[in-house]
């Protein structure tokens, strides 16, 4: 059997660390040719170099997904590199400042929605335009369990609003383009051992014990476990699946 993403040209945002860096490694292992993007050029370039040294194909493009010209240039770079864009994993995001809603700032609200929601919308806009010039493609957005349920222990109203918005955006985009061969789904990770969660735990926003307590399997996920789900959603093996927000959460949202 061929590798799941054999020869597919794949764009991954937020690829400098965490789930994005894990996705670069996992997608490459499944045969994908990669264009990686992040605002962190140093770490993003390092991930691309790691893929190449391991025998894969990868290039890095420093991109701020809130800047439409940069997103458009990123998609063009992918097409220049590989002649097409088969799949995209829109993973870039931020959690912003943790504070109760009544103490939150408009600046933080606009920043978090700008990256997580508007930035992903810009990626979808330009990725879909390219895929419509081909015979279609597959896109996966990174939402969260925070896009499916609320959680009182972490006061992050902007983050929860953005991630819920991503689920709605995913469903609407899927319906608009299903008949034109473009599939759009979302992964909704639970508690994942990423630098973002590690920072939150060090800051006392949430403890590892609290995160594990919300997870029926009683452990944190690895970034690679989320990446494997995203790779499957990008692959032809999920060809009849679109418009879905798929929890990869150890049972969190089943409670």
List residues with catalytic annotation: 159
Neighbour-count burial for 241-254, b at 16+ CB within 10 Å, e otherwise: ebbbbbbbbbebee
Residue in the block written with tokens 């009683």 = 218
Considering only CA atoms, which of 193, 130, 136, 196 is closest in space to residue 163? 196
Give, in order, the Cα–Cα distances in Å from 95 to each of 10, 161, 162, 217.
25, 11, 10, 24
- How does DSSP assign 115-155, residue by residue? IIIIHHHHHHHHHHHHHHTTT-EEEEEE--GGGTS--TTS-
Angle (CA) 178-138-159 rounded to 5° is 95
SS3 call for 59: strand
Cα distance between residue 116 and residue 53, in whole Å: 31
Residue 251, token pair as written in the block: 């049972």
């Amino acid at each position: 059997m061929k590798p799941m993403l054999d020869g597919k040209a794949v764009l991954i945002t937020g690829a400098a660390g965490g789930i994005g860096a894990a996705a670069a490694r996992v997608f490459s292992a499944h045969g994908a040719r990669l264009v990686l993007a992040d605002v962190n050029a140093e770490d993003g370039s390092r991930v691309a170099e790691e893929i190449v040294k391991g025998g894969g194909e990868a290039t890095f493009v420093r991109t701020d997904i809130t800047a439409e010209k940069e997103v458009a240039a990123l998609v063009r770079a992918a097409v220049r590199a590989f002649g097409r864009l088969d799949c995209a994993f829109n993973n870039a995001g931020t959690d912003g400042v943790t504070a109760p809603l009544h103490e939150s700032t408009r600046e933080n609200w606009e920043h978090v929605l700008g990256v997580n929601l508007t930035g992903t919308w810009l990626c979808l806009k330009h990725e879909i335009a390219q895929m419509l010039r081909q015979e279609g493609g597959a896109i996966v957005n990174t939402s969260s369990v925070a896009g499916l349920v609320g959680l009182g222990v972490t006061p992050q109203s902007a983050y929860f609003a953005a991630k819920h918005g991503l689920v709605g955006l995913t469903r609407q985009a899927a319906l608009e383009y299903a008949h034109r061969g473009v599939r759009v789904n979302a992964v909704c990770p639970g508690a994942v051992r990423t630098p973002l969660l590690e920072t939150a735990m060090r800051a006392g926003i949430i403890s590892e014990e609290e995160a594990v307590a919300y997870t029926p399997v009683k452990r944190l996920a690895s970034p690679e476990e989320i990446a494997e789900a995203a790779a499957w959603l990008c692959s032809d093996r999920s060809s009849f699946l679109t418009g879905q927000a798929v929890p990869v959460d150890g049972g969190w949202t089943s409670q």
